[in-house]
Chain A
């Protein structure tokens, strides 16, 4: 579609391959690709899929860093491949599925466990009495909005799970994105469900598993700062826990 631009550069891609129908364990395969200077890692993968090897499987859709489906480990670091410039890499680029997740096939990981954790923090507005639409929107000041806005920016790309050393070793840990999401609702002035979520936060997948490695925040492509969310959530969970001795809750 477009004319050639700038200088093409030859690169070697070392890509994880795994087909449960055939392979016992994942292996790697190398592809030589002449890359445009403005290409992202995802462009190269799509080129491989279209022109070299149609059996390569990977997830992607929006190619604009917002759908969250194209996360992979690139040279060992969790990255959104549609946003990762090849220009920042050398000759050899290693592409693996996101670390810390079981591998379904090639670069595709199993994310159902994540989805369960995601749901377990009750990521919806909990109110004692629901309003009818006819009553009009709630009021929320820009300041109240800013208390949770950052934590609502998560695209569920799961890079933070691939980076977190605790997720790697503790299967039950709720993990950064799920906790950030629960915390997002706890901080929302329209929500009344903090007590319920704090119970989840103190449960099996407890927020206290987090040892503040801050790696989640380092890799997050959307500046959600899940590490901040988790550690705020810890404090809230403690305060809420202490309060539960003072005020007996019904139910």
Chain B
């Protein structure tokens, strides 16, 4: 399973070093169960990238007029789009659950004069914001308000 990746990765600088065996690096981290969450996390990059491009199309369609918009909506009902968007939603939720747990500790204990709140508070705050933003968007985009 090990393969020579970069024998120079950690170059020795000392008198009289000896031949070393290359580092043990797995071919792909998928073979390592504990790496899978991380790989999936990175893999959500794909739906995000595609999503960005699709929303770009949304904006363009809006600019072009009703016809383009109707066509877009028809496309969105296409099972391919539906499946992709479902996957995208799952990805986004996965990212949120993982990242909102990791985010608080990336806050320095102090940023200049600002002292961020304790980590559990940030964590809970993120969740609250997430739910609030989602509900607000649903209300507005869903046509309930205004």
Contact = CB atoms under 8 A, between A and B. Distances in A.
> For B6, B38, B42, B108, which residue has the most chain A Cβ atoms within 10 angstroms?
B108
A100 B32 CA distance: 14
A214 B26 CA distance: 18
B10 A77 contact: no
A18 B21 CA distance: 8
Given A99-B23, A112-B10, A234 B5 contact: no
A165 B29 contact: yes
Contact of B21 (A25, A99, A211, A236): A25
A81 interface: no
Interface in A108-124: 110-114, 116
B19 interface: yes
Contacts of A102: 7, 9-10, 20-23
Given A101-B10, A169-B5, A110 B106 contact: no
Interface string A70-84: 000100110000000
Contact of A104 (B2, B18, B107): B18
B35 to A, nearest CB: 6
Given A20-B19, A104-B18, A227-B102, A171 B8 contact: yes
Contacts of A234: 106
A15 interface: no
Prevailing SS type, chain B contact patch? loop
A215 B111 CA distance: 26
Interface in B1-60: 2, 5-14, 17-26, 29, 32, 34-35, 38, 41-42
B64 interface: no
A187 interface: yes
B110 interface: yes
A212 B102 contact: yes
Given A187-B109, A225-B105, A228-B105, A112 B12 contact: yes
Nearest to A111: B10
A236 B107 CA distance: 10
Contacts of B2: 26
Interface string A1-45: 000000000000000001010010110000000000000000000
Contact of A147 (B20, B105, B109): B109
A239 interface: yes
Contacts of A165: 29, 35, 38
A171 B111 CA distance: 31
A156 interface: no
Contacts of A111: 10
Contacts of B109: 146-147, 187, 232
Contacts of A96: 24
Given A99-B26, A215-B34, 9 more contacts: A18-B21, A73-B24, A101-B10, A102-B10, A110-B17, A110-B20, A111-B10, A168-B23, A215-B35
Give the 5 A-B residue pairs with the shortest CB-CB distance, closest first: A113-B10, A231-B106, A102-B20, A228-B105, A171-B9
Interface of A: 18, 20, 23, 25-26, 73, 76-77, 96-97, 99-104, 110-114, 116, 146-147, 165, 168-169, 171, 187, 211-215, 218, 225, 227-228, 231-232, 234-236, 239
